[in-house]
Amino acid sequence: MRRVVVPSTQAHDRGDRVVRPAGLAETVDAVRTSAGSVLVRGAGTKQDWGGRVRDPELVLDTTGMDQVLTHNPADMTVSVQAGIPLRRLQEGVGAHGQWVALDPASARDGATVGGLLAAGDSGPSRQRYGGLRDLVIGVTLVLADGSVGRSGGHVIKNVAGYDLAKLVHGSLGSLAVIGEVVLRLHPIAPSLITVQAPAEARAATAAVLALAAGPCEPSRVAWAGGSAEEGRLMVAVEGTAAGAPAAAERVRSTLADARLDAEALSPEQAARAWSAHDADRNGTEGETVLAVNGLPSELATVAEKVHHNADQAGVSGALVSWAGVGMHVVRFGGGEPDQHVRAVRAMRQYADRAGCSTMLRRRPRQVDDLLEVMGTPPPSVGMLRALKNQFDPEHRLAPGRFGGWLGRDGTQPHGSGGGS
């Protein structure tokens, strides 16, 4: 087994032991022969999401498990070790005219397939292809006691056994170590065209709903704005060399009906625009980033709440949204940590009333000392705790993730009405 011990400046809050297995057997051995808490880490692009894991006894670095195990172009499936970077996988299957229909912003930072599954992360192409949970057809897990669990297989129409992939999707490493993943692939479209229009939030919301009700079938719909009164709406369509331009014209016409002046971008302009959108979603050092997931029809209200709450707290506010699927990222910047906390609490209060879910992502470390990492627990919190106790009875995996939702390792076992 490849074992690497790194100094505390590279690990976490102290000189944690870091093990970098090369495959499933070594992962099983690392879990079985260790005691205490375990942090599973891939490229480390989402270590802040849903709560930081402090002082783990073992850091299980999956980046040594970075191989394609099988690729069947005819069946359009690929099986991989969980530590393979998505970007490298895309390059490999792309040589066959295929891709994993997933485009998260963190891919360019080296995000791994297993890490993306554990985080439930995706990208704007979720509009057409769904999230990663919809692309996984098989998974192999290592449980907290070192036992191995498998579900699914190598064929798309497979309904055998429990769907463990959907169980660990978004679990942030708190239920099991993801060892291997089998994915369905899609053909790369010959043509992708992006249409863009300046749009304030309410006009963008009306256009998004009109697109959803019409025949356009866009593959991506995104909006970003520094205020509710200004922003940009981007819509991408894909298809054949002949079909994509016709689809783009239908999008442009739909936006014109919503009184938006849209234009088709060149491939170079589109690449820059989507790259900027990804960068805006990630946020920057010192910002607090909160995901708010609801309905597409809520876009304008979310944008207004972001800027109202930012003004009230004395910080800057921005919204970056996958408008077509109601997935929004809120960014608060400037000011002091306690001002960020006030803005986040206000957004959580709105989300509770609107039936939206929230997830705290990036933020200054001081914010963690002032704010419960998770907001009001959902009605299903009892089931979440039961799953945690069943899969990880000793609560070894990722203690601190989800705050008090999972019990034992947090301070909030009840609703707080706003995350205070």
Domain parsing of the chain, residue ranges: 66-187, 191-264, 280-368
**pTM (global) more than 0.85:** yes
CATH annotation of 66-187? 3.30.465.10
**Of the listed ranges 113-127, 252-266, 395-409, the one predicted with least confidence:** 395-409
Q: Where are the alpha helices (DSSP H) in 105-170?
A: 113-119, 126-129, 164-168
**Of the listed ranges 78-87, 193-202, 225-234, the one predicted with least confidence:** 225-234
The pLDDT assigned to 408 comes to 67
- 7/193: higher pLDDT: 193
Is it true that domain 280-368 has CATH number 3.30.70.600?
A: yes
What integer best gives the mean pLDDT of the chain?
Answer: 91
The tokens describing 400, both together, are 């601190």
* Residue percentage of the chain with pLDDT more than 90: 84
Sheet holding 177-184, edge to edge: 68-72, 77-81, 177-184, 136-142, 148-152
Mean pLDDT of 185-203: 97
Pair 4, 61: CB distance under 8 Å: yes
**Of the listed ranges 144-148, 156-160, 171-175, 278-282, the one predicted with least confidence:** 156-160
Write the CB contacts of 13 (distance below 8 Å, at least 6 apart in sequence).
54, 55
**Secondary structure class of 193 (helix, strand, coil):** strand
The predicted-structure confidence for 353-365, as pLDDT tens digits, reads as follows 999 999 999 999 9
The pLDDT assigned to 16 comes to 65
Q: How far apart are CA 130 and CA 325, in angstroms?
A: 10
* Residue 233: pLDDT over 70: yes
Pair 122, 375: CB distance under 8 Å: no
* Torsion from C-alpha of 165, 169, 171, 173, nearest 10 degrees: 70
* Residue 228: pLDDT over 90: no
Confidence of residue 152 (pLDDT cuts 50, 70, 90): confident
Confidence of residue 154 (pLDDT cuts 50, 70, 90): low
Q: How far apart are CA 361 and CA 373, in angstroms?
A: 9
Confidence of residue 158 (pLDDT cuts 50, 70, 90): low
Give the DSSP letter of residue 85.
B
Question: C-alpha angle with apex 378: 373 to 381, nearest 5 degrees?
Answer: 90
Quick one: fold of 191-264?
Alpha-Beta Plaits (3.30.70)
* Residue 24: pLDDT over 80: yes
For the chain, give percent helix, strand, coil, nearest 5: 35, 25, 40
Pair 407, 413: CB distance under 8 Å: yes
Mean pLDDT of 396-416: 71
Mean pLDDT of 147-161: 74
Say yes or no: do domains 66-187 and 191-264 share a fold. no
Mean pLDDT of 137-142: 96
Mean pLDDT of 188-195: 97
The pLDDT assigned to 282 comes to 84
* Residue 20: pLDDT over 60: yes
The predicted-structure confidence for 302-326, as pLDDT tens digits, reads as follows 999 999 999 999 999 999 999 999 9
The pLDDT assigned to 14 comes to 45
The single-letter code of the amino acid at 370 is L
The closest of 6, 121, 102, 7 to 63, measured between CA atoms, is: 6
The pLDDT assigned to 308 comes to 97
The closest of 10, 406, 164 to 18, measured between CA atoms, is: 10
**Secondary structure class of 126 (helix, strand, coil):** helix
DSSP 18-83: EE--SSHHHHHHHHHT--S-EEEESS-TTTTTTS---S-SEEEEGGG---EEEEETTTTEEEEETT
